[in-house]
Amino acid sequence: MEIHTLTQKTEMLAQFPIIKELYPDYTLEKYSTLLDEIVKGNYSQIIVTENNETIALTGVWIGTKLWCDKYVEIDNFIVAAAYRGKKIGNLLINEVNKIAKTVGATQICLDAYTNNFTAGKFYINQGFVPKGFHFVKFLNP
């Protein structure tokens, strides 16, 4: 297995098949349009490949907020269904930890749905703790 960090939109577009596992209704055009905005904001992707196939992916944001200083945020953590339970997620988390240390981040954060108990258990086992609530107000487009 190999780990790669992607910073270019063209590289990220090639990851569309695994993105579809998390967002089955997305089209390539929608993903491309979203990437046009996302890559402007200090965003990259980390992928794990095996035999030239992407088997896991996470987005990574690096930012700064008043309440926590510099941070790294995990976004859209995906392990292909056939590879779940095989410690592939650990490889992604280890790579995010390296990035956080390299950039001098004070913390790594992420959002996980409250009904996704498998993800919650995984993140707790990786040393993450629930800190608060993420509130969302949905607006009509």
User: 67-76 pLDDT, tens per residue?
Assistant: 889 999 999 9
| pLDDT attached to residue 140 | 84
Sign of the C-alpha dihedral, residues 24, 28, 29, 31?
positive
Mean local confidence (pLDDT), 52-64: 96
Structure tokens at 57: 């992916």
Domain residue limits, the chain: 2-125
pLDDT band at 133 (very low <50, low <70, confident <90, very high): confident
Question: By C-alpha distance, which of 79, 85, 91 is closest to 18?
Answer: 79
Third-level CATH fold of 2-125: Aminopeptidase (3.40.630)
Question: By C-alpha distance, which of 80, 81, 78 is closest to 60?
Answer: 78
pLDDT of residue 141 exceeding 80: no
